[in-house]
Structures are given as C-alpha cells and as structure tokens.
C-alpha cells in the first residue's frame, strides 16, 4: 500500500512559495551554465477533451524539431499515456512512492525518442497524495529534468488536489478545451481556481477537436470574454487541432496520429503548435535555476 499519511508540520503551501520566490528573465542561463528546462503542465477542466493525445503528439512534434522531451503522466491512479503510445512499462510511479525504484529508473522511451515517466492505473491511493509526497516528487523531478529541453506534465482532468498542485507547480499552464459548452465552462472553472487559490495569472489555450478554424477561434473568444471580465488573468491562444478521423484511428491502433498519418490535418496542426510553443515566451524563471522552487525553500521542506 502507498502511505499517504505523512506528517505535515513542515509543509509550505505552494501559494506561499509562489509569493516568495525571486525571478529572472526568461532565457537567462541558470547557475549550472545551462538554459533552464521549460516546464509545462497540460491540463483541462473536463475529461474527454483529448488532453493526453495533445501531450503525446505535441511532445512528438517537439522531438522532430530537435527538442529533448520528457513527459510525466501525472494522471495518478488512472494513467493511460502508455496505453496511447502502445508501450508497456515494467515500473511506474507507484514503485517510486513505495521506495522500490527511483524516478530515473522508471523512464521508458516512446516513439520519436520521447521519454516517459509512467503513472499507474487502478491504484486509488495515488489519487490522494499527501503534501509531503507531492513535494518529494517535485523535488526529485527538479533534479531529473535538467537533461531535457521540455518537460510536459500530463495532469488529470478537473480540479482535484493533485491536478491543481501539479498544474500550479509548472512554469507554464496549457489548458485544453473543446468547443462543447461544458468543456468551456469547466475550463473557466479550472482557471478560476488556479487564479484564486494559486495566484496563477498566465495561461495558454489549445482548442481541440474543432470542426473549423472559425469554430476554434470562437471557442477562444468565448473563454477570453469571460476570463477578461471576471478573472485577473492573461490567456494566450496557442492554437488548435481540427477534428480528424485519423486521431481516433491512431487511438485504436495505439499509435500517435503524428506518427500514423504525418501529413494529416491533425498532424499538421501539431507541427504548427510545436512551432508556436517554441516562439511563445516562457515566464520568468527561478533565480537559482531550479525548475519548480528555489533550493532554499526546498531545503525548508526537507528539514
């Protein structure tokens, strides 16, 4: 069994850390002389919007552009990224939390030389990690991701504690939405909670499964109207992935559409998203070069 009742006397809340940490301009070298890894959480307010497909294909498109990409399946307890990619990891995050393996020992290689940190499926305890476990994962990830250019966190859907925590820990948050009214409403709710509870002010939006450019643009417009009116946030429209039967065919074949049908409509959209992401500016980063929190704050947690 995975223990979730760790003592919380030394816990520092994420909202406090965000308020305390100092920043440096994006792109400045860290203390190790290397450019910092770009850490992006891909999340959604509603399940079934194709978020994991977005993560896999966006990561694949980035590797095609020469980026070293690591994906963390943070849909803890119900991870399915490995199923989507047609790989069968021997170990997963549950083995790490049980002390059987280190994070670097569970990494598997997927299509296009994507590196994957697999979650577990059917382990309920993983859906309610303690604050101590969440921080320990982030601290270990902080040491692991230095070898990568891009680190993508595939969160679960909704506004559970794990979703909010992993989303708020990242430098950038990519919200996936479809043109469905419920998906739009839930995406707004997710951004609202992250803005109010974790003081997030910047979001990137990806519209998935739109029938046309016009429908995708209208979905962004609707969300932008309400967020501009009721939330003190900035929302950047990163792009869209149009409805494409090849995506469903890829899911059935356990192969990404970008690999299965590289010149399909959806695959071209993913290639454009990768270019747009590279062109978009990341936020300010930690002055210490750490990717989640400054070492001084991490040390307070450990002590």
Q: For residue 121, what pLDDT band results from cuts at 50, 70 and 90?
A: low
**What letter does residue 127 receive in the DSSP assignment?**
G
Q: Considering the domain 35-302 in this protein, what is its CATH number?
A: 3.40.50.300
Q: Say yes or no to pLDDT of 271 above 80.
A: yes
Q: Which pLDDT score, from 0 to 100, does residue 27 have?
A: 40
Nearest to 146 by CA among 26, 59, 29, 43: 29
Nearest to 209 by CA among 219, 201, 224: 219
Mean pLDDT of 94-114: 90
Expressed in angstroms, the distance from the first to the final Cα of the chain is: 26
Q: For residue 48, what pLDDT band results from cuts at 50, 70 and 90?
A: very high
Q: Which pLDDT score, from 0 to 100, does residue 294 have?
A: 35
Mean pLDDT of 67-74: 93
Where b means 16+ CB within 10 Å and e means fewer, 63-89 reads bbeebbbbbbbbbbbbbebbebbebeb
Mean pLDDT of 209-228: 97
Q: Which pLDDT score, from 0 to 100, does residue 228 have?
A: 93
Q: For residue 12, what pLDDT band results from cuts at 50, 70 and 90?
A: very low
Residue ranges in the chain assigned as alpha helix (H): 14-20, 51-64, 81-85, 93-97, 131-144, 161-169, 181-198, 213-230, 245-253, 257-260, 265-279, 295-302
Mean pLDDT of 245-251: 96
Q: How far is CA 8 from CA 23, 160, 168, 296, in A?
A: 27, 19, 19, 18
Strands 285-286 and 23-24: antiparallel
| Residue 23 CB coordination number (10 Å) | 11
Largest CA distance in the chain: 54
**Euclidean distance between CA atoms 190 and 98, whole angstroms:** 31
Q: For residue 302, what pLDDT band results from cuts at 50, 70 and 90?
A: very low
**Euclidean distance between CA atoms 297 and 272, whole angstroms:** 38
**Euclidean distance between CA atoms 196 and 60, whole angstroms:** 33
Q: Which pLDDT score, from 0 to 100, does residue 35 have?
A: 65
285 close to 24: Cβ distance less than 8 angstroms: yes
242 close to 266: Cβ distance less than 8 angstroms: yes
Q: State residue 163 phi and psi, 5-degree precision.
A: -60, -50
Q: How far is CA 276 from CA 26, 208, 279, in A?
A: 16, 15, 5
**What letter does residue 35 receive in the DSSP assignment?**
B
**Euclidean distance between CA atoms 169 and 12, whole angstroms:** 13
pTM over the 0.85 mark: no
Q: How confident is the prediction for the chain on average, in pLDDT?
A: 82
pLDDT digits (tens, 9 = 90+) for 132-180: 777 777 778 888 898 999 999 999 899 988 788 889 888 899 999 999 9
Q: Under DSSP, is residue 225 helix (H, G, I), strand (E, B) or coil? A: helix
Could you tell me the residue ranges of all domains in the chain? 35-302
Q: Say yes or no to pLDDT of 224 above 70.
A: yes
Q: Say yes or no to pLDDT of 7 above 60.
A: no
116 close to 71: Cβ distance less than 8 angstroms: yes
């Amino acid at each position: 069994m995975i223990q979730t009742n760790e003592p919380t006397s030394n816990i520092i809340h994420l909202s406090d850390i965000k308020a305390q940490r100092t920043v440096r301009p994006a792109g400045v070298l860290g203390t190790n002389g290397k450019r910092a890894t770009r850490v992006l959480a891909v999340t959604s307010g509603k399940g079934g919007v194709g978020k994991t497909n977005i993560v896999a294909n966006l990561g694949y498109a980035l590797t095609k552009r020469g980026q070293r990409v690591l994906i963390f399946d943070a849909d803890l307890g119900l991870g399915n990224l490995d199923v989507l990619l047609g790989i069968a990891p021997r170990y997963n995050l549950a083995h790490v939390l049980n002390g059987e393996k280190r994070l670097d020992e569970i990494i598997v290689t997927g299509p296009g030389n994507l590196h994957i940190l697999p979650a577990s499926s059917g382990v309920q305890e993983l859906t309610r990690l303690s604050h101590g476990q969440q921080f320990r994962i982030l601290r270990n990830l902080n040491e692991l991701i230095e070898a990568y250019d891009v680190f993508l966190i595939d969160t679960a859907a909704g506004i559970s504690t794990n979703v909010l925590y992993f989303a708020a820990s990242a430098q950038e948050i990519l919200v996936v939405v479809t043109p469905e009214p419920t998906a739009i409403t839930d995406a707004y709710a997710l951004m609202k909670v992250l803005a109010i509870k974790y003081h997030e002010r910047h979001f990137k939006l990806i519209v998935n499964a739109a029938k046309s450019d016009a429908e995708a643009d209208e979905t962004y417009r609707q969300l932008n109207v309400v967020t501009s009116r009721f939330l003190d946030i900035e929302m950047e429209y990163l792009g869209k992935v149009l409805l494409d039967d090849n995506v469903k065919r890829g899911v059935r074949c356990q192969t990404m559409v970008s690999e299965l049908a590289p010149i399909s409509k959806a695959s071209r959209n993913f290639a454009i998203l990768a270019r747009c992401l590279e062109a978009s500016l990341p936020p300010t980063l930690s002055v210490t070069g750490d990717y989640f929190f400054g070492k001084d704050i991490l040390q307070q947690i450990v002590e």
